[in-house]
Structure 1
Amino acid sequence: MIKPTLRTAALLVLAAVLATGAPVPASAAPGPSDGRPAAATAPGVAGIAGWSRMDYADPRDEIQIFVDAHGLFTPRGGRTGPALSWGTFRIQHSMGAKDGEPASFNWGDFTVDCVRVDGPDVAVTGRIVDAGPGWQIFLNRERPARMGLSFHVPAPGAGATRIGITPPAPDGQPELPMCSTWAPDADALGGAYTVTDTRRH
């Protein structure tokens, strides 16, 4: 179970998506986010674990992303895809008092249903299983909503770690496909993520 879940950039995106009914793009990022399987020549396990704060424009807010997600990859017809994915992730958002509103706290806990790892790039999707008041709407759908996380975790000294949050599709629209995520667009602040990959390339 992941411990300590947003009105973040994602909540702003969520509000826009819900207001407009716009479909969620299948994928805006290269690598794992575009649905391409990671290349490998032998079975293995790959995944990501760790936590970090997400850079956010309002210093009164704190957004944290916790993840422990892994997949079993087996060669299939010359292509490698996740035969099985497991794990959990949490998005949480502490919101400072502002605009006459008191401070508040929201979160979403997810069970992982797909993981893709392509070098430093990772895409993770999962279904919501518990939520704060702001996300009860996603938990209480006929089928709980799927959301996604994307990560870019370069080698030390090779650039900044980045995170992205992909919101669920609006009610009545086709749901977000498994392992399909938006590009990571925010810097990770503090904490760290570790990408593992036992596949032989």
Structure 2
Amino acid sequence: MIMTPRRTKIIIIFIFALMFSVFAPFYYVNRLVWAFDEARNATILKIQYTKEKEIVETVTFFIHSVTFSIFSFVFVILCTVVLIVKLNSKTKWRKATAAKGANTAEGVGVKDKMVVKMVTFISSIFIICFVPGTLIFLFMALEPEFSHGGRYKNIYFVVWSFSFVMETVNSSVNIFVYLKMSSKYRAVFMKTFLRKEEK
């Protein structure tokens, strides 16, 4: 009811416009220009930097990599907590309603518990895997020497390598979580890829 197709389109367009407006100044200060290269004796495309490059890149980096990254991280945590609380209250209500009837349904709330467990697990994987990247961006904003050309470049490359591995893990394990915890996903997966009907 909340995420209707119309609202989804509006949100996607808004996100695109926001990201475009954040990165437009970056491309303005890093321009592509035609320039004569003496070594090649030809006119080629080169990047030309403007004098505002440093300040624009600093602001762009802070908005995109620090602010947006931390906001999305906190937003996922809040949405997960709200979803778990709502599902748990729904389960309690169903149990209370079933208890008032003549025959108490023993399976009431089992599906909701599985959903809570799966959502918590998926969100936990996301949070754990994206903590390093978020912390790295934050540290980069606080310490300018922590960059690919700075004094701490060796540590920079090591921690980013670890962060990329963690992000890869996050992208890779979700399918196995859904296969294990979601009967509908498993049934569709088996039917689509293995041509088997799950009993």
Fold conserved between structures, TM > 0.5:
no
From the two aligned structures, give the one with the greater helix fraction. Answer: 2
From the two aligned structures, give the one with the greater strand fraction. Answer: 1
Structure with larger RCO (C-alpha < 8 A, sep 6+): 1
TM-score range, shorter chain: under 0.3
Please, what TM-score do these two structures have when normalized by structure 2? 0.20
Please, what TM-score do these two structures have when normalized by structure 1? 0.20
Larger Rg: 2
